[in-house]
Chains A and B, each alone.
Chain A
Amino acid sequence: MDESTEQLGKQLQERIHQLFGRSLGIREVDAGSCNGCEVEVNALTNAIHDIERFGMHIVASPRHADMLLVTGAVTRNMEMPLIKTYRATPSPKMVVAMGSCAASGGPFLSSYAVVGPVDSLIPVDVYIPGCPPRPQAIIHGIMVALDLLEEANNR
């Protein structure tokens, strides 16, 4: 067990319950990642972090998702698939840009094969810095996204 995960997770569980009354559906989209970010997203579901117990569910289709977790600087070849995935996600939806590449383009920004950071194509709610961000940072980022959602709901 990891204590920081434990603490963060408990807080998150409460938030998710308040806001949704059910689990939060997250769809991960690799839009041009080096796969380092995927190592950490996968680590979220191992028995040490085990985010499912806090009500965060990695879903198999954007149709089931409340949130898109996008990694990588968007490549030319992933531009359309990313936009289609975004459109297939029902509103209201949140987008989290995970990792330096998704947030800013990282070392790939100037390449002919890269369109740009995620927010150059779809609106982004939260950016999680790191290359790759640690599992705890991802959980924290998701929490910030929920704060924003709550604020919007109260307005």
Chain B
Amino acid sequence: MSFNDGLIRKISSMAERLEHRGELLHVATSRDQFVDLVDIIHKVGGRLVSLHATDERATAESFMMYAILDHDGCLIEVVSPVWDGVPFQSLVPRVHAANWYEREIQDMFGLTPHGHPDPRPLVLYDDWPQDTFPLRKDFDSSIDIPRIPREYKYRHMEGDGVFEIPVGPVHAGVIEPGHFRFSVAGEPIMALEIRLGYVHRGVEKLSETMPYHKGVILAERISGDTSAAHSAAYCQSVEQLFEIKAPERAEYIRTIILELERLYNHLGDISGIALDTAFAVPAADGYVLRERVLELNEWLTGSRLLRSINTIGGVNKDIDRDKSAKLLSHLVDLRLQFERLSSTMMSSVSMLDRVEGTGILSKENARSLGCVGPIARASGVDIDTRRDHPYAAYPDMSFRIPLQKSGDVYARTVVRIDEVRESFAIIEQALDRIPNGSICTEFTGAPIKTTALSLVEASRGELMHWMIGEEEKPFRHKIRDPSFCNWLGLELAVRGDIVPDFPLVNKSFSLSYAGNDL
């Protein structure tokens, strides 16, 4: 895609420097112009992909703030300095999607947004000392951080018959920790407040201490069920930094494992939706299919979660002809069983009754929050990184991008069912066309001085790794998991629904806590 000339003229009038870097337009601007510039791109339909900071005080004498936007398939990186002790103007009143990003910047860098409607801490808890910021370069990881007692203020709803229901962080099911606070009047939910950060492990800081080859291992452990997508995104960004290219055969293998990952996750989500509507038979069948894919993963690669396959410069494991043929026949079998399952599910009146009209996320809200993946597509937002910013072997694949309009649990189920079909088709195409050759390029050289940006469509949606490199390890590594963009969508979607529908709506959003919290 090419950049829109009118927009470029507008941008350049406000920019200090403008540079085309491959697919990316890099725009440096002053602090005063930053918000206006991002807002202009946002107004013409630019979607906020990420907003994050770096500590460049050693070289540039300031912190830097980067906004990444996607405008009609063109990626724009806007950067401006931010100074310690000088609050920066918040983007949130104009770009709602910036909400959690700015709170995260405040926690991690101690830079305060001015005019943010909700400047509470996001991942570092209230008992965290207020003058200690982990992503600053002068932060010392080895010291013990004291706990300072302080209380987190939840939003309160008041009125006759309004009650609060607190849930978590330790839940009744086998799911990750998070706190949900419902304000209810009788059965209907008036508001939901979600508090996360319980599994914040400090991944971005850890990554700055890890040599690149170890960074891949860490990337696989950001969100365990997204190991392949996170490691692919990590490897792609390091490959960009070192200007190396994975061989074509490796790109095909990456595509295959990325689709296998989507398959087992979507199968789990679809079965979970059946389970939460108390439709036990397809739920059990669906979980068996998911297990079959996990077993297939292990047989094909040695890892049920597809770990240790992606490596910088390519992949570690090849798929020989014999395996390829067997994989194909397994897929045919799985496909048949899946069709039976989906037709049982989608023809059941009692199931449809639960999912239709439940947990609606409007297109407008999905856009304004910057939602991604199946959640966005179920609300009619037509985005998919595989088509919009193709990577691996996706340029050679033909596939459809399923869309729905109703934005309810039904739509999210149908989108996933259709995507499972596409995944089967993509794996078959990839196995059919995979070229011969090596599977890994040597990882050598020195990193380029500019930033690297890599996007991957994980099963939950667009995932970003962004990096500034040093010789041995990243200087700054920003990770943005798709769930980070989708959590607030859940708060909006459950409003007006009844409490017993929450587990179902939550399941249909299928959000990662670990990926969000980092």
Contacts and interface: CB of A to CB of B under 8 A. Distances in A.
B199 A30 contact: yes
Contacts of A141: none
Contacts, number: 128
B206 A107 contact: yes
B174 A42 contact: yes
B291 A48 contact: yes
Interface string B325-344: 00000000000000000000
B514 A39 contact: no
Interface residues of B, number: 47
Interface residues of A, number: 44
A49 B225 CA distance: 19
A78 interface: yes
Contact of A41 (B174, B206, B222, B515): B174
Interface string A71-92: 0110111100100010000000
A75 B200 contact: yes
A19 interface: no
A41 B83 CA distance: 46
B170 A81 contact: yes
A106 B515 CA distance: 17
A107 B218 contact: yes
A34 B200 contact: no
Contacts of B304: 39-40, 134
B169 A78 contact: yes
Nearest to B172: A60
A123 interface: no
A131 B217 CA distance: 11
Contact of B174 (A28, A31, A72, A81): A28
A32 interface: yes
A134 B514 CA distance: 20
Interface stretch (A8-16, A111-119, A144-152): A111-119
Interface in A106-154: 106-108, 110-114, 131-132, 134
Interface stretch (B12-20, B282-290, B435-443): B282-290
Contact of B141 (A36, A47, A111): A111
B294 A108 contact: no
Given A47-B288, A48-B288, A112-B145, A35 B198 contact: no
Contacts of A56: none
Interface string A1-39: 000000000000000000000000000111111111111
Contacts of A72: 199
B402 interface: no
B224 A110 contact: no
B177 A34 contact: no
A43 B174 contact: no
Given A46-B288, A60-B173, A73 B224 contact: no
Nearest to A110: B141
A100 B511 CA distance: 24
Interface string B286-315: 011011001000000000110100000000
Nearest to A59: B172
Nearest to A88: B170
A112 B199 contact: no
Interface of A: 28-43, 45-49, 58, 60-62, 72-73, 75-78, 81, 85, 106-108, 110-114, 131-132, 134
26 contacts: A28-B174, A30-B177, A30-B199, A32-B198, A33-B224, A34-B201, A34-B222, A35-B513, A36-B224, A36-B227, A36-B305, A38-B224, A43-B294, A45-B287, A46-B291, A47-B284, A47-B288, A49-B291, A60-B172, A60-B173, A76-B145, A77-B125, A106-B221, A107-B214, A108-B201, A110-B141
Interface of B: 125, 134, 139, 141, 145, 169-170, 172-177, 197-203, 205-206, 209, 214, 217-218, 221-225, 227, 268, 284-285, 287-288, 290-291, 294, 304-305, 307, 512-515
8 smallest beta-carbon distances between A and B, as pairs: A36-B224, A113-B202, A60-B172, A111-B202, A46-B287, A34-B224, A34-B221, A35-B224
